[in-house]
Amino acid sequence: MKKILFIMPILGRSGADRVIFTLLNNIDRTKFKPYLLLYKNDSEKNTLVRELNEDVIVEYLNITGRARYSLPKIVLGIKKVSKKHSIDTIFISSGTSNSTLSPFLNYFGKHIKKIARESNLPSLFEKNFIAKFLYKTCYKSYDVIVAQSDDMVNDLVKKMNVPQNKIVKINNPLDYKHIKTLSLKPSEHSFPADRINLLSIGRLTYQKGYDQLLKSYKNLPEGKYHLTIVGEGEDEAMLKQLCSDLQLERSVTFIPFTDNPYALLKNCDVFISSSRWEGYPNVVIEAIACGTPVLANAYPGGINEIINEKNGIICDITGELENELNKVLNIKNVLIDNAIIDNILRKYESIL
């Protein structure tokens, strides 16, 4: 039985975190024993830890402050935990951590297989000069690099000089049974009953494009729609001010977080993905798994590998929204193919 150590800064609410949560709970226990190493022991941020299966062994590095200032402690901690549990495979799924740790992979043990899961388009997402340099020089030291879409593969190969033979394309897995169970539970938040309810979930950052969504939303008929945005981030004050400037306070609600996004995804009318770019937007496939159609911006990333005429529409989010919303609202019986999702999990198991 192979011992797999998944390494993350935290296991919280982000799409990348939920992918690791899904793998931890669902990989074949007859073949693999899962371990989780987190940088920080923070129960408020590690919201998914309490939902892990009881057989998942969780270790903490107890990092305080920003991880970039604790690199020696992180490297030594990974080495120590790997030795303690006789780990066979290390699986890291945080872009900046992937690149930052890439020069030290042999230190963790030459016999250990090292896998990086990329979660974004690094040429657009990564702003740190050193991290970008390490992508181009040391990222090839991994045994396997997982990308979720063709655009992600091309970004790594053409922009970050990663050898294509190191990259394996695997879409994101979903725990659809877990999602369905939670989607049927009452939500701590409610939608206005007399409106068409639009929902978006993501960090309040430039990448997610909420500024351009709000400007387009302003042009919709007053009183017909309500937009709920779930997330926190550095652009929160700016976006709330923009909402005020556009006089949208009565038709837009900001929610900082929810521990059960699936209840919201199940009960809204349309999920909107307004990003400027993505790697492979996990929340989009979660919306589809909840039976909700998606209106997505035409951004680079894997969105064109997810959206089709049966589950949503891709458009220019900065254009006229009313016509596109009418189209997406006519999409009924949105379903996700469970057999495809099961096959994705098997693909992950094949590389561990």
Would you state the pLDDT for residue 45?
Answer: 85
- Over 70: is that where the pLDDT of 351 sits? yes
Three-state DSSP state, 189: coil
Cβ–Cβ contacts within 10 Å for residue 218, how many? 17
**Residue tagged 């945080």 (tokens):** 94
Q: What's the longest Cα–Cα distance across the chain?
A: 62
Q: What is the mean pLDDT of residues 97-104?
A: 91
Banded model confidence at residue 345, pLDDT cuts 50, 70, 90: very high
- Over 90: is that where the pLDDT of 96 sits? no
Q: 117-131, 288-302, 313-327: which range is least confident on average?
A: 117-131
Would you state the pLDDT for residue 66?
Answer: 73
Q: What is the mean pLDDT of residues 337-348?
A: 90
Q: 21-30, 131-140, 237-246: which range is least confident on average?
A: 131-140
- Over 90: is that where the pLDDT of 13 sits? no
Whole-number percent of the chain with pLDDT over 70? 99
Q: Which domains does the chain have, with CATH numbers?
A: 2-173+340-351 (3.40.50.2000), 177-329 (3.40.50.2000)
- Over 80: is that where the pLDDT of 126 sits? no
- Over 90: is that where the pLDDT of 304 sits? no
Would you state the pLDDT for residue 335?
Answer: 85
Whole-number percent of the chain with pLDDT over 90? 71
Contact 3, 29 (CB under 8 A): no
- Over 70: is that where the pLDDT of 212 sits? yes
Separation between Cα atoms, residue 32 and residue 349, nearest integer Å: 9
- Over 90: is that where the pLDDT of 238 sits? yes
Contact 137, 105 (CB under 8 A): no
Residue 295 β-bridge partners: 272, 313
- H or E stretch covering 115: strand 113-117
- Over 90: is that where the pLDDT of 202 sits? yes
- Over 80: is that where the pLDDT of 98 sits? yes
Could you please report the per-residue DSSP string of 290-301?
Answer: TT--EEEE--SS
Three-state DSSP state, 341: helix
Would you state the pLDDT for residue 246?
Answer: 95
The amino acid sitting at 255 is: I
- Over 90: is that where the pLDDT of 106 sits? yes
- Over 70: is that where the pLDDT of 83 sits? yes
- Over 90: is that where the pLDDT of 124 sits? no
Q: What is the mean pLDDT of residues 84-92?
A: 97
Q: What is the mean pLDDT of residues 159-187?
A: 92
Banded model confidence at residue 12, pLDDT cuts 50, 70, 90: confident
- Over 90: is that where the pLDDT of 69 sits? no
Contact 273, 229 (CB under 8 A): no
- Over 80: is that where the pLDDT of 352 sits? yes
Of 65, 45, 54, nearest to 36 (Cα)?
54
Output 313 or 123, whichever has higher pLDDT.
Answer: 313
Would you state the pLDDT for residue 67?
Answer: 66
